Chain A
Amino acid sequence: MEGNLNALTTIFTEFYYWVTIVMMFLIHVGFCMYEVGVSRRRNHLKTLMKNAMAIPLVTITFYFFGWWIYFGFPNGPGITGGLVTAPFAEPWNPLMGTHLSGVNPGETGVTPTDAALWHRLNGVFWGAFLLFSITTASIISGSIIERVRSGAFWIVAVLVGSVLWILDASWGWHPQGWMVKLWGYHDAYASGVVHAIAGGAALAFLIVLGPRIGKFRADGTARDIPPHNVWLVTIGLFLIFTGFWGFYAACNIPLISPATIAGQITGETWTATNIYLAPTTLSAITFNFLMSLSGGMLAGYIVSKGDPFWTFSMGLCGVISTSAGNDLYHPIQALLIGAIVPTICYKLHYFVERRFKIDDAVGAVAVHGYGGFLGVVVAGFMLWGQPSSPYEGFAHINPLGNFAGAVLMFVLGFAPTFVVCKILNSMNLLRVPAKVELEGVDFALNHAFEASVREVGAAEKAMIK
């Protein structure tokens, strides 16, 4: 019976994560629609492909090294210990493929214990984390449209999606991460580890890249460059909201016994937990997800005077700004934080645009970067003194730990991206020339399309009798 219960738990967990992966794919459908909707007609195809090709590139690199980084680096290394061995996450390990839990004769690198645990869970855990990775990379994509070289973005997408974010996840979003142990860092649904780091990277990219031609008037004030299709933008954001249900569910472990956690929880009550293995429920995050989304949309509607783009974006920002603590907040707290933080982010977006001439085409730095940063900071105050982990000896959640963590996340996204963009810029690989930007980055594709239409049209007309 115990064996069957364990098998059922494993297979349930496997199916649970598989469903979250499917749901999270909607985030990327949404991102593509959103970006294409914002871009002008002469840039549609490259905008679409720039975002879409981040999916295969981050996928293969997350297979090659991203997954291993998560398990290898929770101690820093060098802060709370050394590099952790994680053979099941190495790309050449048999558990990184189709596996049935035993150990074949001559199969190297697989222990019976690893095989029993990982044969069904490795692929779905990897897939769920991968979808977080692609999301983190995609966040940058929208802000740099219409003048960036796609190849430059794809290099940064691999850097952020398969290295930087998963490194910070290993530090601050892992049951044994050093930030959790020493700082009491709490960021259950990734305000910092996904959104702040992506926002920091996007800001660095934008600083080096520069604004689109025509964005700023001669006197330095900003022009509005309206989305070519607001309807497509809002449907895209709706799909991102939908996919975020999968994102939230994937941040939980659905079913686990206190004995398996092996922490300080007593009794025999099985529970869902957050990524730190601290108890929570899907109900808690359902309350708080919806209330924070509502707070953001309600505030967004007022602040932006009913602008669809910002109303929807601030709804997303509402969720992001409460994600750090949405396992523990009261729904009305989530509502209020989800209204106040996005309002600050909206104001910050226009302040930074005006003051520093940053042309963020989709407001990604504000929605994800500032929203994620402030969300982590707020959680440090709101959850002050609560346990960060079920294990003994971990620091409790506190404002300083979360503030330092938020800074670390933002800077970890910003600094390496800035350096890589500078290098790409020095090689003329970052931005298209001004003439091509004016023609539209789809110029060659549109020409080929129109030539084909003319040719086939002429051939068909010649057949008319």
Chain B
Amino acid sequence: MSTNGMESWALDLKDVGAIYPFQGSEVVMVIIGLVFWIGWHVLQTRHESAEIEADMAADRTGEETRKAIDRH
């Protein structure tokens, strides 16, 4: 038994198609991949909003901002 159905290379390569593991689950893998992609954007947006909120509360005197501007 193997995860791609192959247990030996003693064969003619023209008869071999896909060799990745768990063939037949491609649609499920695509769905998982799409969820990963959309989920990433959701998480990233939340993180960015939280960071901006923290930045808004920081440097009340503007001193650090002035220094940063001077550094160009």
Q: Which residues of A contact B (CB under 8 A)?
A: 40-42, 57, 60-61, 63-64, 91-95, 97-104, 106-107, 110, 115, 149-151, 154-155, 226, 228, 429, 432-433, 435-436, 438-440, 443-444, 446-447
Question: Pick the contact of A41 from B17, B41, B55, B71 — CB < 8 Å?
Answer: B71
Docked complex: B8-23 residues within 8 A CB-CB of A: 13-20, 23
Which residue of the partner chain A has the closest CB to B58?
Answer: A443
A444 touches B55 (CB 8 A): yes
Q: Which 4 A-B pairs have the closest CB atoms?
A: A104-B17, A94-B18, A92-B26, A42-B68
A100 touches B13 (CB 8 A): yes
- Chain A proximity of B54: nearest CB distance (Å): 6
B30 touches A438 (CB 8 A): no
Question: Pick the contact of B20 from A98, A429, A432 — CB < 8 Å?
Answer: A98
Using Cβ atoms and an 8 Å threshold, which residues of chain B touch A93?
26
Q: How far is the CA of A313 from the CA of B18 in the complex (A)?
A: 45
Which residue of the partner chain B has the closest CB to A228?
Answer: B72
A435 touches B56 (CB 8 A): yes
B16 touches A102 (CB 8 A): yes
- Chain B proximity of A121: nearest CB distance (Å): 15
Q: How far is the CA of A190 from the CA of B69 in the complex (A)?
A: 40
B68 touches A104 (CB 8 A): no
Given the contacts A64-B37, A107-B23, A154-B41, A443 and B55 also touching, CB distance less than 8 Å: yes
Q: How far is the CA of A299 from the CA of B10 in the complex (A)?
A: 63
Using Cβ atoms and an 8 Å threshold, which residues of chain A touch B18?
94-95, 97-100, 104, 107, 110
Given the contacts A99-B18, A103-B17, A444-B51, A429 and B45 also touching, CB distance less than 8 Å: yes
Using Cβ atoms and an 8 Å threshold, which residues of chain A touch B44?
150-151, 154
Using Cβ atoms and an 8 Å threshold, which residues of chain B touch A444?
51, 54-55, 58
Using Cβ atoms and an 8 Å threshold, which residues of chain B touch A100?
13, 16-19
A41 touches B68 (CB 8 A): yes
Using Cβ atoms and an 8 Å threshold, which residues of chain B touch A99?
17-19
Using Cβ atoms and an 8 Å threshold, which residues of chain A touch B69?
42, 438
Q: Which residues of B contact A (CB under 8 A)?
A: 5, 13-20, 23-24, 26-27, 29-30, 33-34, 36-37, 40-41, 44-45, 48, 51-52, 54-56, 58-59, 64-65, 68-69, 71-72
Q: How far is the CA of A102 from the CA of B26 in the complex (A)?
A: 18
Given the contacts A61-B37, A447-B58, A102 and B48 also touching, CB distance less than 8 Å: no
Question: Pick the contact of B48 from A97, A151, A228 — CB < 8 Å?
Answer: A151
A440 touches B17 (CB 8 A): no
Question: Pick the contact of A150 from B20, B29, B48 — CB < 8 Å?
Answer: B48
Which residue of the partner chain B has the closest CB to A41?
Answer: B71
Given the contacts A64-B33, A104-B23, A155 and B48 also touching, CB distance less than 8 Å: no
Which residue of the partner chain B has the closest CB to A119?
Answer: B17
B13 touches A433 (CB 8 A): no
CB pairs A–B below 8 angstroms (6 shown): A94-B17, A100-B13, A100-B17, A104-B17, A436-B55, A443-B58
- Chain B proximity of A156: nearest CB distance (Å): 12
- Chain B proximity of A315: nearest CB distance (Å): 26
B19 touches A439 (CB 8 A): no
Using Cβ atoms and an 8 Å threshold, which residues of chain B touch A150?
44, 48
Q: How far is the CA of A446 from the CA of B18 in the complex (A)?
A: 48
A94 touches B48 (CB 8 A): no
Question: Pick the contact of B65 from A57, A110, A439 — CB < 8 Å?
Answer: A439
Count chain A CB atoms within 10 A of each CB in B16, B20, B54 and give the residue with the most. B16
Using Cβ atoms and an 8 Å threshold, which residues of chain B touch A432?
52, 55
Given the contacts A92-B26, A150-B48, A155-B41, A439 and B58 also touching, CB distance less than 8 Å: yes
Q: How far is the CA of A61 from the CA of B30 in the complex (A)?
A: 11
